[in-house]
Amino acid sequence: MAQALITRSLFIPTPLCSPIASALFTQRNRTKTKTHQLFSREEKTQLTVAHSCCGVSEELRKKFDWRSSKMVMWVFGYGSLIWKAGFNYDERLVGFIKGYRRVFYQGSTDHRGTPEYPGRTVTLEPAEGEVCWGVAYRISNKEDQEVALTYLEVREKQYDKKAYLDFFTEPNATTPAVSDVMVYIASPDKKHNVNYLGPASIEEIAKQIIQAEGPSGPNRDYLFQLEEALLQFGCKDAHVMDLASEVRRILSERELTST
């Protein structure tokens, strides 16, 4: 597990992504979702074993002690968590973290690919002066916190590190809207993250995404859903959009060739 990281405030002359309207920043409608809707059959089994044997890790218990009604938990999503949380929450904020950029460098053998044909999903890479837009979820109910943490430990099991970062909602803000937001990161350390694929050309990554499909569906759907989710709150992530455009180009060429 990673130690908590502290990022220094960086001045951003021009925001990389701008929300369309402040109304999109917050969603307070708390929808209760039953467990059978949150997890697949395989994930239910993993959750039962994980929770009955050892529960949530000791580190997370210390960080989020749900026995205390005053503790509030925040989780930052920059990939599929943007459009599919999978847990109950009280508030959803659109915003960003500083000093990181989103990259399709993590291999996926459990959701969007297989061990034979791994897909590619996003992780975070340190990048001074850059920001990564996404959403932060606030979870205050103690039972919801326990369920969310247990669920995330299974869903994000191929992401080997956690960081606790400052989260901002205004492009030029120097004071965070929320501190110590939990973030899952897949590191480039092959000893601890055997699924890390690393950088490659846009064309190479696009071809791999087109080929890959896993239990959660085709890898290309993940890419297109991420692009759409970011655009919904005004974020034009160049890496994501360039990759999506290349995937569409290759698919279009293949379709023309086959007809």
The answer for residues whose C-beta is within 8 angstroms of residue 130's C-beta and 6 or more apart is 16, 98, 99, 100, 101
Exposure letters 176-188 (e unless 16+ CB within 10 A, then b): bbbebbbbbbbbe
Assess contact for 64 and 153: CB atoms under 8 A: no
Retrieve residue 65's tokens.
């002690």
Of 148, 16, 24, the closest CA to residue 74 belongs to: 148
Assign residue 57 a region (left: φ > 0; alpha: ψ between -120 and 50; beta: otherwise). beta
Phi first, then psi, for residue 187 (nearest 5°) are -85, 165
3-state SS class at 12: coil
- The separation between CA 94 and the C-alpha centre of its own chain, rounded to angstroms, equals 13
Beta carbons within 10 angstroms of residue 158's beta carbon? 20
Catalytic residue among 91, 146, 153, 156: 156
- The CA distances from residue 243 to 19, 84, 89, 103, in Å, are 22, 21, 31, 10
CA–CA distance, 71 with 142 (Å, rounded to integer): 8
Is residue 156 annotated as part of the catalytic site, yes or no?
yes
Catalytic residues: 156
